[in-house]
A and B are shown apart, each in its own frame.
Chain A
Amino acid sequence: DVKVTQSSRYLVKRTGEKVFLECVQDMDHENMFWYRQDPGLGLRLIYFSYDVKMKEKGDIPEGYSVSREKKERFSLILESASTNQTSMYLCASSPSRGSTYEQYFGPGTRLTVT
């Protein structure tokens, strides 16, 4: 079974703090993704990575950065958290660069910025 884990289920941070969200997958997948989920907007892609040290911007990269130093780990960084970044964050992975493969999702991190 593919396993995608995220470091926290719930996180509360203050405005201006630097926030790290970690994601680890155990199936040697090349692709990894970070989404945010907001009511009525579905999932929106923030960044994705198709290889170690490679990254590409998604639809809403502003205010975020990412890091992929190892194949199994993909980190999302909020350099200076703001209240409009309060959201559910979902990590996903998929087995190749090809678009035919479904993505496997982690359980999500609900981040609240106060």
Chain B
Amino acid sequence: AQKVTQAQTEISVVEKEDVTLDCVYETRDTTYYLFWYKQPPSGELVFLIRRNSFDEQNEISGRYSWNFQKSTSSFNFTITASQVVDSAVYFCALVEEAGNMLTFGGGTRLMVKP
């Protein structure tokens, strides 16, 4: 069975600090997809990134970067020079190729203080 663990329930940083959100997953499939979503205070989950299991290249999008390592079953998310607007709950999720159901981690609440 698939499982996603986000060990950090809450992180607090000061603006401009870099912060990394950890995500560890478990799956028996060789083909799967990993996601990160952001949930701002408004409540609506916003899609950030999708990664398939065959693409281990790290990705950078502005201040956001993702580090996918199959050897450690991790898909970590780093925000560089954090801003107050980054304050949100962030979810990591996994879906196996054979399935339709996303399995979410418990989420990490990030608080960026001015």
Chain A 59-82 interface mask (CB, 8 Å, partner B; 1/0): 100000000000000000000000
With a cutoff of 8 Å between Cβ atoms, the chain A residues found around residue B9 in the complex are 40
How many angstroms between the C-alpha atoms of A56 and B99 in the bound complex? Answer: 12
The number of residues on chain B lying at the interface, defined by a beta carbon within 8 Å of a beta carbon of chain A, is: 28
Chain A 21-65 interface mask (CB, 8 Å, partner B; 1/0): 000000000010101000011111100101000001011000000
With a cutoff of 8 Å between Cβ atoms, the chain B residues found around residue A31 in the complex are 100
Q: CB distance A48 to B35 under 8 Å?
A: no
List 9 A-B pairs, Cβ < 8 Å. Answer: A40-B107, A42-B104, A43-B104, A99-B96, A99-B99, A102-B35, A103-B47, A106-B44, A108-B44
- B50 at the binding interface (Cβ < 8 Å): yes
How many angstroms between the C-alpha atoms of A43 and B92 in the bound complex? Answer: 10
The number of residues on chain A lying at the interface, defined by a beta carbon within 8 Å of a beta carbon of chain B, is: 29
Q: CB distance A108 to B91 under 8 Å?
A: no
Q: CB distance B50 to A100 under 8 Å?
A: yes
Q: How far is the CB of A86 from chain B (nearest CB, A)?
A: 16
- B101 at the binding interface (Cβ < 8 Å): yes
